[in-house]
Amino acid sequence: MLKIKNVRDSKTKEDGFRILIDRLWPRGITKQKAAIDLWLKDIAPSNELRKWYSHDETKWEEFKKRYFEELKDKKDLLKIILDKENQTSVTLIFDSKSKLNNAKALIEYIKK
């Protein structure tokens, strides 16, 4: 099972294996509090795309299109997530106040 969760939400047993999918470490969060099992920062959107999007929800559809293009070159990182999901529950961890973020886009991409 694959799900997403904000890094600021408490870790639960149901999270299973926790993968941080942001390029930058969450500000103000210790490694202990984050309880991350793996940090796949290279699966995050490029710095250019991240800055362009800037959580402007009017750009959401274009952001997803561009991010999905970037993900085509990251099959090895996607495989890590899928292989882990075959073994246990996986939670993709993100740090964003916006509901339209890279984690939501990534899980949509994987489920396609």
Mean pLDDT, the chain cut into blocks of 10 residues (112 residues total): 96 97 95 96 96 95 98 97 96 94 96 88
Residue-level pLDDT at 17: 98
Give the Cα separation of 23 and 103 in Å (integer).
Answer: 12
Residue-level pLDDT at 112: 86
Residue-level pLDDT at 25: 96
User: What residues contact residue 70 under an 8 Å CB cut-off, 6+ apart?
Assistant: 45, 46, 49
In the chain the beta strands, taken as DSSP E runs, fall at: 2-6, 17-20, 38-39, 90-94
